[in-house]
Amino acid sequence: DRLEGIDREYELRRILEVDTTTRAFESRLNKYRQAIAEDAQLELKSQMDAFQRTQMVQVRMEIEEEFRQKLSERQQQLEERFQMRLEALTERENHLRQKEISLSQAEENEAFRLRQKLQTESEFLQAQSVLLKQEREQLKRERSRLSEEHRIHEQTIETREKQLVLKQDALEHRIHQEVKR
């Protein structure tokens, strides 16, 4: 009887020790799991922040480069066209001046007739000059329009950035909820 009592007491102590050891192990295991989950969440947030920054910078650079390229191409086209017309008009004007000087030595009637012709051509050149000025104004308006497009692109980028932040917040919340489970 006494031996059975000692056996039972020994068995109870052994069960109590196993139970205490199991609880301590589970407690340490839970703390370890929690630490791993927190580290994983911090690492994921860090990676998502870096990815978002990289994407935003890339989108902004692509849009700015596209705008600069379009503006540069358009400006170059307009400047080349303007330069070609200006050179042609300058050459024509110089030619007309030389022609006027040589014709002034001819007879009066012939000179009068030619002056009339030159006057008409001079008016044409003035009209062309007005057209060139109008084209220059058109270029200014085109630049303004492109600048406005750039401003709208900037607003689009800001909107995309805000949407990315909202998506990231929602994803982080979802991940946090999943980690809690």
Q: Residue 104: its pLDDT value, please?
A: 67
The CA distance from 28 to 36, in Å, is 12
Domain residue extents for the chain: 53-180
What's the predicted TM-score (pTM) here? Answer: 0.32
For 51-72, what is each residue's pLDDT tens digit? 889 988 998 999 899 999 999 9
The CA distance from 104 to 99, in Å, is 9
The CA distance from 118 to 94, in Å, is 12
Q: Residue 181: its pLDDT value, please?
A: 65
Stretch 27-48: mean pLDDT = 88
The CA distance from 104 to 18, in Å, is 127
For 141-151, what is each residue's pLDDT tens digit? 999 999 999 99
pLDDT at 130 over 90: yes
pLDDT band at 103 (very low <50, low <70, confident <90, very high): low
Stretch 7-36: mean pLDDT = 79
Alpha helices by DSSP H, the chain:
2-103, 108-180
Question: Which one has a higher pLDDT value, 163 or 97?
Answer: 163
